[in-house]
Every structure is written in structure tokens, then in C-alpha cells.
Amino acid sequence: MIGGGYLTTHVLDTARGAPAAGLAIELFRVDGSVREFLGSFVTNTDGRTDVPVLPAETFAAGVYELVFHAGDYITKSEIALPEEVFLDTIPIRFTVVDAAVHYHVPLLLSPYGYSTYRGS
């Protein structure tokens, strides 16, 4: 059932202490072993997408996966690395239970690690 909620994300570059601008993101809906591509986005200067990743009119309960293309972003960044990029793509799979509320999935990123949580 489609509700009034929506999905957003935000990427912060913790190594630089700044939003991660220009980071590519893909969104998939997951049903068992099937991954359905829903869209692609690039973060703006605030580390956010210009529109909700999944707006209210298409937001429904289910399993989703955000894929953050961290390797490309890190390679283009000003941070000097002693070796090849450690993180390439970061998939975050999560479940939307209540399609009537806002889900926010931020990513805190550094060249050697990341964290996420359900934000607000």
C-alpha cells in the first residue's frame, strides 16, 4: 500500500568534515532474489539529493537497497590515500514497514569505513 511517507538520504564525508557532493547513488526495490532498479541520483553540495529518493506517490512498504558509489567519490576527492581505494560500492538494505512516515538513511563515509542509521 502506498502511503504519505517518503525516503531521503544524506552523505557526509567524515574524513573531510563536509558534505559529500557528487556521490552517485542507486535505489533498488528487493523482492527475494529480484532487485528492481528504481532510480539513480547524485548528491548536491549539501550531500543530499535534490529530490526525495523515493517520493510519497511511489513510497510503499517493502525491502529497499541504496547503493552508494563511494569508490568513485573517494578517488575524485582531495584525500591522498597510501593504497588503492578500500571501499567501492556500499549497499545498504533496509525494510520500510510504515509507508506513512518519512524514512531517512544517511551515510557517514571515510576512505576506510562507514556507518549508517535510521535518521529523521
Q: What is the pLDDT of residue 1?
A: 55
pTM: 0.92
What is the rounded CA–CA span in Å between residue 61 and residue 6? Answer: 10
Q: Is residue 1 part of a domain?
A: no
Residue 24's domain spans which residues?
A: 6-116
What is the rounded CA–CA span in Å between residue 38 and residue 14? Answer: 28
Q: What is the pLDDT of residue 86?
A: 86
Q: Is residue 46 part of a domain?
A: yes
Q: Is residue 110 part of a domain?
A: yes
Q: What is the pLDDT of residue 85?
A: 79
Q: Is residue 101 part of a domain?
A: yes
Q: The domain that contains 54 carries what CATH number?
A: 2.60.40.180
Q: What is the pLDDT of residue 3?
A: 66
Count of structural domains, the chain: 1
Q: What is the pLDDT of residue 77?
A: 79
Instruction: Label the pairing between strands 102-110 and 6-13.
Output: parallel
Q: What is the pLDDT along the chain (120 residues), one digit of tens a residue?
A: 566 899 999 999 998 899 999 999 999 999 999 999 999 999 999 999 999 999 999 999 999 999 999 999 998 876 766 677 788 999 999 999 999 999 999 999 998 899 999 998
What is the rounded CA–CA span in Å between residue 55 and residue 22? Answer: 21
Q: Is residue 108 part of a domain?
A: yes
Q: Is residue 98 part of a domain?
A: yes
> Quick one: 13 exposed, middle or buried, by C-beta within 10 A (0-12, 13-18, 19+)?
buried
Is the distance from CB of 56 to CB of 4 less than 8 angstroms?
A: yes
